[in-house]
Structure 1
Amino acid sequence: MDLKEQNWRNLCANHLRDWHGIWTRYSPEGEVIESFQSLRSFRSNQDQTEITQTNRYIYANDTTKEESWEYNLRSNGLANGLFHPARNSMRGIFFEQGAATWITTELKTDSGFGIELFFRHEELRHSIGIVYDQSNTLMRTASIQEDSTGFPSKYWSTDLNLLPDRNISGNWQGSSITMTPDLKVSSPVSTQLHFPVAGNETFFFSDGISLSCPGKISIGTDITIAANWLVTPSQLQQLIVKYDNVGAFTSLTLELFHKSDEAEQ
């Protein structure tokens, strides 16, 4: 199996289901802009070579919006990720574990920029969206809580407000794998938790979700965006996306951490 087919199979293995969720969008200052119900459904043909994604949004005034995209392994499964029909510059990258991202492959001046990072654990999925405007200034973030067992979720809280801080101190030990733009995945290496990223803005969402991203991005400066999910008091997942100083996507890293009782402080 070549790498682009493996990327496709990772999508099929982890995300082909109905994801019932709540989207909440936040201003750069961390204030709630809006929150609404969603259903993201993924369906495939029998041999899983074609996928239809349908997003349905239900707003507070009971109005709905629906959009749909079709993916084909042969035409959308490219050597640098899954091609998104809505945007030429967007690619989907999927780890075997279930974590994933939709990334903009290249940052360009005056074009805007967006990325979505996905965490997956059992029947739950959580994603963080980060959107920059045409001046490359942070425009909004989004927290998307999803549950494949139905709505409302028994797991996710209903508290939408950001927290002032989160205690994730301690001796976190874990393993790290990195995928490059050609979809090659490194061998696992041991790592320790480093968060937040120096110089970035930091946001603490409910249910153990944290984000560290620049308030403004620019050509000529390396970019690092990191997000993590404290799944349990002793389990944490982290995704790190990096762009080089010419604005090209260079790597996606997945880190899985465990904190044992004796290591807790």
Structure 2
Amino acid sequence: MQSQWQCLLKNLGEWHGSFTLFLPAGELREDVPTIVSLEGLDHNQTIRQTIQRYASPTAADELVQDSEPIDEKVLVYSALGRGVLFFEDGAFSQGSMQFAPFSEFGAELGLMAGDRRLRLVQLFDRESQLAQLTLIREHRTGSPAAERPPLTLDDLLGQWQGEAVTIYPDLRSPTTYSTHLQISRTEENQIAQQLTFGEGGGTIVQSTAIVNGSRLQFDQGSLPVQVLLLPDGASASSPVYIKTGHSFFLEVGWLLQADQRQRMIRSYDKKGEWSSLTLVTERKLAKL
């Protein structure tokens, strides 16, 4: 098994993309072109990370490279913080270790597919309300910049068979298991979802959602959960607000092909403590 640092090194390179800010209801607020570079120093024992933000969207990378960034941040580090975990393909999540009322809270979840990355940052305000989401779409220098179309509900309908890997903040051995997700439309503006997962298919979760444009609203549980359908085949799942004494999760999804999807889930327990990180790779078996 690779070390966490070795998994981080899968992200080395220069990544061109944009930081796209959305409000909780899915309204786009701004789209900022970016170049993020991760450079290995001292035989890759140290990482120098540079984040450059540019003034306005441009049609070609060359135009970004020839202009001056409006903002630049440089980070240099030789160790990883407690709030971050990596999978062996370089996918990762970093963020708050603990939810607490009256404090800001949030996390970043990042997926990788070859020379492309998709990252999502979900932030909650001091009132524990979902405040904003930032979708980050990137490709390595020299690789195609092609993106998937915006995700639609029809893309999700069907039966999905997956394999999940769960890793833990205390670095105990990972857990692997199969998943089965079925999403079907029951009415014009309503869907039903059934998720089966765990060893021997031991856990079954059923829920329904109201379809409201690009939002799927699940209101049956102890915390209302919404799924936003986003550009580049992405989706963002989270509670609308967080309350103490309730477990919850943050999730990003990425439709890589019509029948192939990745999901990452960052889970918190009833005490508000970060408990696990799960990466699901799934394929569509049939459309319903």
Name the TM-score class by shorter chain. Answer: 0.7 to 0.9
Equivalent in the alignment of 1:131: 123
Contact preservation (8 Å) 1:28, 1:139: yes
Gapped runs of 5+ residues in structure 1? Answer: 77-81, 84-89
Aligned 1:34-73 pairs, distance under 5 A? 34-60=30-56, 64-72=70-78
Of residues 5, 9, 24 in structure 2, which corresponds to 1:8?
5
Of residues 211, 224, 235 in structure 1, which corresponds to 2:236?
211
Percent identity between the two aligned chains: 29
User: 1:247 is aligned with what amino acid?
Assistant: G
Aligned 1:159-174 pairs, distance under 5 A? 165-174=153-162
Q: Secondary structure at the match of 2:3?
A: helix
1:203-222 per-residue CA deviation (whole Å, 9 max, x = no partner) reads 00012101111111122111
Deviation at 1:150, TM superposition (A): 4.8
Q: Secondary structure at the match of 2:242?
A: coil
Take 1:48 and 1:21, find their aligned partners in 2: how far apart are those partners?
24
Take 1:97 and 1:43, find their aligned partners in 2: how far apart are those partners?
18
Contact preservation (8 Å) 2:151, 2:255: no
Equivalent in the alignment of 2:99: 107
Deviation at 1:231, TM superposition (A): 0.4
Deviation at 1:64, TM superposition (A): 0.9
Deviation at 1:116, TM superposition (A): 0.8
Equivalent in the alignment of 2:167: 179
Q: Secondary structure at the match of 1:167?
A: helix
Contact preservation (8 Å) 2:83, 2:169: no
Take 2:152 and 2:44, find their aligned partners in 1: how far apart are those partners?
44
Contact preservation (8 Å) 1:7, 1:183: no
Take 2:178 and 2:25, find their aligned partners in 1: how far apart are those partners?
35
Contact preservation (8 Å) 1:137, 1:217: yes
Equivalent in the alignment of 2:203: none
4+ residue runs over 4 A deviation? 195-198
RMSD, aligned CA: 2.3
Equivalent in the alignment of 2:146: 155
User: 1:39 is aligned with what amino acid?
Assistant: I
Contact preservation (8 Å) 1:17, 1:43: yes
Contact preservation (8 Å) 1:166, 1:204: no
Deviation at 1:241, TM superposition (A): 1.1
Greater Cα shift, 107-116 or 248-257: 107-116
Contact preservation (8 Å) 1:54, 1:69: yes
C-alpha distance 209-178 of structure 1, shift in aligned 2 (>3 A): same
User: 1:59 is aligned with what amino acid?
Assistant: A
User: 1:42 is aligned with what amino acid?
Assistant: L
Take 2:225 and 2:155, find their aligned partners in 1: how far apart are those partners?
18
Deviation at 1:182, TM superposition (A): 1.1
1:122-141 per-residue CA deviation (whole Å, 9 max, x = no partner) reads 11000111011111111101
Take 1:6 and 1:166, find their aligned partners in 2: how far apart are those partners?
39
Gapped runs of 5+ residues in structure 2? Answer: 58-67, 182-194, 196-206, 208-215
Which structure has greater strand proportion? 2
